[in-house]
């Protein structure tokens, strides 16, 4: 494949990519798939994936668990408030975040969890940096932990499946990221967007406009399941908001600022937001996928040239994530 080149194309829609050939024994099929991903990563920063590896049964169970959790009394949810956690796990109340500093707050509730072994319940790994520590789980909610972790591990496995394709898209060996994702940083969120009714305050959105450099989202890429309620919007190069219309059977993948930084801005991290003005409640499940925390974010091979000199200070992935997480959470005034 040719050397990746950034362009300034203006997209009007987000591509849908069938990733069924991700594990094909035919190198030509894998390279053709990587070509599609490269084009999406360079010019859009977003794409849908179809024929992914997460079963509908796993998705349905996790969403049912999310609905049961967010239906709990507020006092019970606040008992595992994320502000009580030293490692950014637990519940976030309405307006408990403000992704866009120009807004008044994000109109959603959230629940954050990280890596945990399904059978043993061990959720502490050496090398997990700022995220080291146990998950917190609501009491008395039957099946909640299992449903969440089933989806979490399925999404992590999908993330590992995508990394060889990203490597090919950057003209790197398929196994380039293997030793950098042994203990990948992966945070999953359950998100509930209540109906926004009555007088609309334009400075209150489901999630304010941001790239994935926003504190809680500073990973390589995000794997997002969204329900059929339209809310996600992506900003193109002409400043036009493009709807990321829910497509049954697909997940949305979007690049984070960590990957943009690592690729010296060859890969694109695109501004997006969630605005739920439908009058209907909305649910989504993003998994923010990154490398091991000790990986140095040095410019990837082939991403620096005379025309595109190195732009960023070299930091570890863990330090990069920590610097952003610490600014995320606040209590509304």
Contacts of 57 (CB under 8 A, 6+ apart): none
Ranking 51-55, 147-151, 198-202 by mean pLDDT, the lowest is 198-202
Asked if the structure places residue 300 within a domain, the reply is yes
pLDDT at 100: 53
Asked if the structure places residue 2 within a domain, the reply is no
Is-contact 269 259, C-beta < 8 A?
yes
Is-contact 54 162, C-beta < 8 A?
no
Asked if the structure places residue 9 within a domain, the reply is no
pLDDT at 330: 43
| Burial category of 148 from C-beta neighbours within 10 Å (exposed 0-12, middle 13-18, buried 19 and up) | buried
Residue with tokens 């690592």: 262
- Residue with the bigger pLDDT between 261 and 224: it is 224
Nearest-angstrom CA–CA distance, 31 and 35: 6
Write the pLDDT tens digit of every residue in 78-95: 999 998 887 789 999 887
Which pLDDT band holds residue 132 (cuts at 50, 70, 90)? Answer: low
Is the overall model pTM greater than 0.85, yes or no?
yes
Q: Which of 296, 299, 321 is nearest to 311 (CA)?
A: 299
Asked if the structure places residue 6 within a domain, the reply is no
Nearest-angstrom CA–CA distance, 16 and 20: 12
Encoded tokens for 225: 């399941």
Encoded tokens for 75: 């006092």
Is-contact 288 219, C-beta < 8 A?
yes
Which pLDDT band holds residue 326 (cuts at 50, 70, 90)? Answer: low
Nearest-angstrom CA–CA distance, 232 and 67: 20
Write the pLDDT tens digit of every residue in 239-298: 888 999 999 999 999 998 889 889 999 998 888 888 888 889 999 999 999 898 889 999
- Average pLDDT in the 125-153 region? 84
Which pLDDT band holds residue 325 (cuts at 50, 70, 90)? Answer: low
For the chain, the average pLDDT equals 84
Q: Is residue 127 predicted with pLDDT exceeding 70?
A: no
Nearest-angstrom CA–CA distance, 38 and 6: 10
Please state the domain count of the chain. 1
Asked if the structure places residue 8 within a domain, the reply is no
Which pLDDT band holds residue 329 (cuts at 50, 70, 90)? Answer: very low
Nearest-angstrom CA–CA distance, 15 and 18: 10
What does the DSSP assignment read for 238-306? TS-EEE----TT-EEEEE-HHHHHHTTTSS----EEE---SSS-EEEEEEEE---TT-B-PPPTTS--S
Calculate what percentage of the chain has a pLDDT beyond 70. 80
Asked if the structure places residue 5 within a domain, the reply is no
Q: Which of 210, 170, 231 is nearest to 1 (CA)?
A: 170
Which pLDDT band holds residue 205 (cuts at 50, 70, 90)? Answer: low
Asked if the structure places residue 11 within a domain, the reply is no
Supply the CATH number for residue 211's domain. Answer: 2.60.120.330
pLDDT at 219: 74
Could you tell me the residue range of the domain that residue 28 belongs to? 16-329
Asked if the structure places residue 47 within a domain, the reply is yes
Which pLDDT band holds residue 124 (cuts at 50, 70, 90)? Answer: low
Write the pLDDT tens digit of every residue in 304-313: 998 889 998 8
pLDDT at 332: 39
Per-residue buried b or exposed e for 318-327, using 16+ beta carbons within 10 Å of the residue's own CB? bebbbebbee
DSSP class of 282: E
């Amino acid at each position: 494949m040719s050397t990746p080149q950034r362009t300034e194309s203006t997209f009007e829609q987000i591509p849908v990519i069938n990733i069924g050939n991700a594990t094909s024994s035919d190198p030509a099929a894998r390279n053709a798939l990587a070509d599609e991903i490269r084009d999406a990563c360079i010019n859009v920063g977003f794409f849908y994936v179809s024929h992914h590896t997460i079963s509908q049964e796993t998705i349905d169970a996790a969403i049912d668990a999310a609905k049961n959790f967010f239906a709990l009394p507020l006092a019970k949810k606040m008992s595992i408030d994320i502000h009580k956690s030293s490692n950014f796990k637990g519940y976030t109340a309405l307006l408990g975040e403000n992704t866009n500093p120009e807004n008044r707050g994000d109109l959603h509730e959230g629940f954050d969890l990280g890596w945990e072994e399904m059978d043993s319940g061990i959720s502490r790994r050496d090398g997990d940096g700022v995220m080291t520590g146990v998950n917190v789980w609501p009491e008395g909610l039957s099946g909640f932990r299992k449903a969440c972790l089933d989806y979490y591990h399925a999404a992590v496995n999908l993330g590992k499946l995508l990394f060889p394709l990203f490597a090919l898209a950057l003209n790197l060996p398929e196994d380039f990221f293997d030793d950098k994702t042994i203990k990948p940083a992966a945070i999953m969120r359950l998100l509930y967007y209540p109906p926004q009714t009555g007088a609309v305050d334009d400075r209150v959105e489901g999630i304010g406009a941001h790239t994935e450099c926003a504190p809680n989202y500073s990973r390589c890429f995000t794997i997002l399941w969204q329900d059929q309620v339209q809310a996600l919007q992506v900003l193109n190069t002409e400043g036009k908001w493009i709807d990321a219309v829910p497509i049954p059977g697909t997940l949305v993948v979007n690049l984070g600022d960590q990957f943009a930084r690592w690729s010296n801005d060859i890969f694109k991290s695109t501004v997006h937001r969630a605005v739920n003005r439908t009058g209907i409640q909305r649910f989504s499940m993003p998994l923010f996928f990154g490398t091991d925390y000790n990986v140095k974010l040095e410019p990837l091979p082939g991403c620096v040239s005379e025309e595109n000199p190195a732009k960023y200070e070299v930091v570890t992935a863990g330090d990069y994530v920590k610097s952003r997480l610490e600014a995320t959470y606040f209590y509304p005034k």
